[in-house]
């Protein structure tokens, strides 16, 4: 099994990336292969309509950038909250995706906040990012609040740190089980993205 994680912050060495690295390490300890994409350290150019052209330069760039992405069985999307919204880098990332990349695979939304925020990016991603990508968000999500004060060491440094580690571990376990279950849906033969490439 393989899980791809996308750290959606614009910043290099971001707190979203820190959480992503913790999640990748947790998954790898369970024997699960991971791929971590960092939109801050390796930013994508602004999406443009030439992505629809087969041999365009931006299409070639994307195919190289996203190597291994579509072969994952499940996805984790990490977003900071910018002015009450999901990060523009992550929203731009979703524009690059086609129905065939992540369709009918489970997705987990994790939002990151330096304070008590973080709920709005979850609502925003659930509302719009699934339409043409066909990602299936699991019911669980996690908001990592006061992120600077947790996940900074090998062992928890307090009750909040201990709680969020346990909650993240639990939610990853749920994601893995959804990945197993949705594989049967994709193998069923009922999925027809060629005829119905866009959601309604």
pLDDT at res. 24? 98
How do residues 145-157 score in pLDDT, each as one tens digit? Answer: 999 999 999 999 9
List the domain range (segments joined by +) for residue 19: 2-187
H/E run at residue 109: strand 106-112
Average pLDDT in the chain: 95
Per-residue pLDDT band for 197 (boundaries 50, 70, 90) equals: confident
Q: Based on the structure, what is the number of domains in the chain?
A: 1
- 3-state class (DSSP) for residue 5: strand
User: Above 80 in pLDDT, residue 99?
Assistant: no
pLDDT number for residue 98: 84
The pair of structure tokens assigned to 145 is: 């609040």
- Within a domain: residue 192? no
Residue 27 lies in a domain: yes
What pLDDT is stored for residue 100 in this prediction? Answer: 83
What's the pTM? 0.95
Give Cα 98 distance to the centre of its chain.
Answer: 15
Instruction: For residue 193, tell me if it sits in a domain.
Output: no
Please report, for the domain that includes residue 63, its CATH number: 3.40.50.360
Is residue 138 within 8 Å of 175, Cβ to Cβ? yes
């Amino acid at each position: 099994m393989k899980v791809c994680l996308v750290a959606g912050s614009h910043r290099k060495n971001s707190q979203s990336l820190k959480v992503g690295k913790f999640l990748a390490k947790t998954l790898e300890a369970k024997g699960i292969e991971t791929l971590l994409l960092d939109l801050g350290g390796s930013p994508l150019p602004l999406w443009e309509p030439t992505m629809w052209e087969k041999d365009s330069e931006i299409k070639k760039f994307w195919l190289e950038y996203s190597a291994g992405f579509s072969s994952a069985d499940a996805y984790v999307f990490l977003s900071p909250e910018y002015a009450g919204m999901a990060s523009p880098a992550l929203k731009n990332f979703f524009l690059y995706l086609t129905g065939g990349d992540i369709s009918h695979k489970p997705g987990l939304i994790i939002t990151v906040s330096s304070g008590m925020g973080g709920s709005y990016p979850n609502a925003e991603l659930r509302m719009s990012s699934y339409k043409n990508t066909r990602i299936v968000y699991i019911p669980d999500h996690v908001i990592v609040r006061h992120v600077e004060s947790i996940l900074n060491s090998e062992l928890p440094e307090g009750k909040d740190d201990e709680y969020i580690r346990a909650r993240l571990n639990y939610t990853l376990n749920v994601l893995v089980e959804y990945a197993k279950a949705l594989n049967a849906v994709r193998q069923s033969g009922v999925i027809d993205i060629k005829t119905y490439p866009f959601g309604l």
